[in-house]
Amino acid sequence: MQQRIAEAAERLGYQPNPMARGLKGGPSGLVGMLVADIRNPFSVAVMHGVEQACRAQGLSLMVCNTDNDPVLERQHLALLTSYRIEGLIVNAAGRHSEPLAELASDGLPLVLLDRSLEGIAADEVGLDNNLAIDMALDHLTEQGYRRVLFVTELPTRASSRQTRVARFESECPERQLAGKVLSLDLDDTTCLDHELSAFLDTPDGHPAAILCGNGQVTLAVTRALQARRIPLGDTGLMGIDELDWCQLVTPGVTTLAQPTDAIGQAAVEQLRDRQAQPIAPAPRHLRFTPQLIPRGSTRREQSASTTDETSP
Amino acid sequence: MQQRIAEAAERLGYQPNPMARGLKGGPSGLVGMLVADIRNPFSVAVMHGVEQACRAQGLSLMVCNTDNDPVLERQHLALLTSYRIEGLIVNAAGRHSEPLAELASDGLPLVLLDRSLEGIAADEVGLDNNLAIDMALDHLTEQGYRRVLFVTELPTRASSRQTRVARFESECPERQLAGKVLSLDLDDTTCLDHELSAFLDTPDGHPAAILCGNGQVTLAVTRALQARRIPLGDTGLMGIDELDWCQLVTPGVTTLAQPTDAIGQAAVEQLRDRQAQPIAPAPRHLRFTPQLIPRGSTRREQSASTTDETSP
DNA sequence: TTGTAAGCGTTATCAA
DNA sequence: TTGATAACGCTTACAA
């Protein structure tokens, strides 16, 4: 009997209207994602992982870019909830966002990507930031650098940046490294040149390296170094986030690659898990291990300019 | 009287439910966008322009990534239409897509980004491909290259690629250039090395250059050239699409930058225009002019390795 | 097993 | 000017 309607539906090309369905409160099959900056390759890479996972689960993904604008974030949040999303993956929200906290307490499955949010007890998925900093400092130490400048975007905006800065500051002394932190506003990189000079021009004989907090910073710093004709390797350069061009800029830029696909997929799984749980379990935090991709930019004794061909 | 309800709505934080609204058939304020490859920086850049324009118009944008998969494309199309979008911006659809044609003939405002589609008479917004090829060939000729290899992704997939190939083939003879076309499957770049060798190893004394059809190709070719230790400039390299790293790879990669923001915004405007028209006017084609950013990779007599600092 | 009815939050139409 | 009512397409609960 049901066969007959199923087959008639097939024949007529019937497709249920998700609007009507959503009205009544049924499952929407929709997952929302809030991205702080769609032009950040890391975000895009994670998003790709999220998409794949959604597809595998038969879910549809609705992506919104907030461009780091709290107002936009609020609007998009309203849009997403009005479409009855079943889960939300968030890679935005600089500060404690009230609407977001409200949603979480309303029981909407929520996964925070690459950041924690004050006052919101939600699942988190992201890099193991402490480990990443440790790995970076270990590598730089091994390569013989004794002074390190950590350049990061304004850490007030994202908790992961704060974590990295904190770890950097606590771990440098442990390794007898002279550490310094530079907070950068990417819209105004004039101070970068200045600070870079100040850091590099100290002729105390200790080899110096620069550690970049994310891909955008790596780009800005590489540009600045190149403008000042500073050869890489002699002055160390290392970045968190692997980028297309890191192997192209001679002698190659050393990076800590994030497992972006895995992170995206984990976010969706987390969402499903939570949906399946009738009583909300304690928030889970998933921290992924980065992969060190050593290249020429952290090789001090340049034995001929060997092009690095490591692939990401 | 209406004031009272307006103020009550404000007080209670009332927000109309777009589901219910959509059910009845009212305006949804939603625009859909289909992107073939979210990891293509060009697509992301255009998407950013689209977003800005939507915001300015008070529209919400729903983006779907098809990953060049016709099946996914169909699914996403179904999703978007079920949400009663008021307009659709498409940067996918390799071949004549039936569902798309259907939508267009149903009167849904449709803008094709960077491609035409057989059998679909819709508005188109994109680069002036003929002009772009002409500009590239002019530049390469001026710089003294006499042989050019045009590397493109499989042109069967996108009309803009076909247009570029056709123009390349017809214009090379005009300029007494020896032109050759290489169609590349980016998932399998083994043939690239091979073909590159074949092209460059012909010692007929004529300076050779490689022209890349888009950013992804530029990346693949730059990698291949670097692997073979071929210095840029001597062998010319030029790409369509400006990328972050083009100024970083010494001596800088010459590009034709697309005005991505303008293209995205034009797409949304086109949508609105069409919506406003009661009777559908003939499809409009908007073709944008690229910007030549000359760098060291097309400079033959390298007078000292001057770092190019032109910004995009 | 099959059929009917109410309700989800809007908008549009029509009467009062 | 205002208020009541039907309809959008679906789900769910209950009656035949």
pTM score, two decimals?
0.90
Interval A192-205 mean pLDDT: 89
Residue A57 has pLDDT above 80, yes or no: yes
Q: What percent of chain A has pLDDT over 70?
A: 96
Q: What is the pLDDT of residues A254-277, one digit of tens each?
A: 999 999 999 999 999 999 998 887
Is B82 near strand D, with its CB below 7 A from some atom of it?
A: no
CA atoms within 13 A on the CB side of B254: 23
List the B80 CA – C14 C1' distance (angstroms): 34
Edge-to-edge order in the sheet of strand A254-257? A178-184, A147-153, A208-212, A236-240, A254-257, A291-293
| pLDDT given for residue B93 in this prediction | 67
Is B14 near strand C, with its CB below 7 A from some atom of it?
A: yes
Please list, residue by residue across B238-266, b when 16 or more beta carbons sit within 10 angstroms of its beta carbon and e when fewer do.
bbbbbbbbbbbbbbbbbbbbbbbebbbbb
| pLDDT given for residue A301 in this prediction | 72
Domains and CATH numbers, chain A: 2-127+261-290 (3.40.50.2300), 129-258+292-310 (3.40.50.2300)
Residue B264 has pLDDT above 50, yes or no: yes
Is B2 near strand D, with its CB below 7 A from some atom of it?
A: yes
Residue contact B227–A307, C-beta within 8 A: yes
Closest-CA residue of B relative to A56 is B72
List the B10 CA – C11 C1' distance (angstroms): 20
Judge whether A37 and A43 are in contact, CB under 8 Å.
yes
Interval A190-213 mean pLDDT: 91
- Residue A203 banded pLDDT, cuts 50, 70, 90: confident
Chain C bases having any atom below 7 Å from a protein CB? 1-2, 7-12
Interfacial residues of A (vs B; Cβ cutoff 8 Å) = 15, 17-20, 22-23, 38-39, 44-45, 47-48, 51, 55, 60-65, 67, 72, 75-76, 78-79, 82-84, 219, 222-223, 226-227, 229, 243-245, 247-250, 307, 309
Interval B184-192 mean pLDDT: 90
List the B87 CA – D7 C1' distance (angstroms): 25
Residue contact A250–B247, C-beta within 8 A: no
B116 or A176: which leads in pLDDT? A176
- Residue B303 banded pLDDT, cuts 50, 70, 90: very low
Cα angle A122, A123, A125 (rounded to 5 degrees) comes to 135
Interval A143-167 mean pLDDT: 94
Q: φ, ψ for residue A92 (rounded to 5)?
A: -140, -145
Is A23 near strand C, with its CB below 7 A from some atom of it?
A: yes
| pLDDT given for residue A219 in this prediction | 97
CA distance A135 to A145: 14
Of the candidate ranges A235-239, B118-122, B301-305, the one whose mean pLDDT is the lowest = B301-305
Q: What is the pLDDT of residues B77-120, one digit of tens each?
A: 989 999 999 999 999 866 778 888 888 888 899 999 998 887 78
Residue contact B19–A223, C-beta within 8 A: no
- Residue A94 banded pLDDT, cuts 50, 70, 90: low
Is B15 near strand C, with its CB below 7 A from some atom of it?
A: yes
Residue contact B83–A83, C-beta within 8 A: yes
Chain A residues lying within 8 Å of B38, measured CB to CB: 44, 47-48, 51
Chain D bases having any atom below 7 Å from a protein CB? 1-2, 7-12
A169 or A100: which leads in pLDDT? A169
Chain A residues lying within 8 Å of B84, measured CB to CB: 19
**Nearest CB to A39 within list B48, B227, B248:** B48
| pLDDT given for residue A292 in this prediction | 98
Interval B277-301 mean pLDDT: 91
List the B68 CA – C3 C1' distance (angstroms): 45
| pLDDT given for residue A306 in this prediction | 42
**Nearest CB to B219 within list A51, A219, A244:** A244
- Tally of CB atoms within 10 A around B51: 24
Helix (H) or strand (E) holding A237: strand A236-240
Please list, residue by residue across A259-288, b when 16 or more beta carbons sit within 10 angstroms of its beta carbon and e when fewer do.
bbebbbbbbbbbbbebeeeeeeeebeebeb
| pLDDT given for residue A171 in this prediction | 98
Averaged confidence pLDDT in chain A: 90
> Tokens representing A6?
């199923």
Q: What is the pLDDT of residues B43-89, one digit of tens each?
A: 999 999 999 999 999 999 999 999 888 889 988 998 999 999 999 99
Residue contact B39–A48, C-beta within 8 A: yes
Q: φ, ψ for residue A55 (rounded to 5)?
A: -55, -45
Interval A5-21 mean pLDDT: 87
Interval A123-142 mean pLDDT: 97
Residue A42 has pLDDT above 60, yes or no: yes
Residue A303 has pLDDT above 60, yes or no: no
Interval A78-82 mean pLDDT: 91
State which residue has its Cα closest to the C1' atom of C6.
Answer: A24
Residue A146 has pLDDT above 90, yes or no: yes
> Tokens representing B137?
């060939």
Residue B305 has pLDDT above 50, yes or no: no
Residue A54 has pLDDT above 50, yes or no: yes
| pLDDT given for residue A305 in this prediction | 41
| pLDDT given for residue B309 in this prediction | 45
| pLDDT given for residue B98 in this prediction | 83
CA distances from A57 to A85, A265, B91 (A): 15, 11, 25
**Mutate which of A60, A190, A221 to test chain B, going by most B C-beta atoms within 10 A?**
A60
- Residue B311 banded pLDDT, cuts 50, 70, 90: very low
| pLDDT given for residue A225 in this prediction | 96
Which residue is associated with the tokens 């979008």? Answer: B85
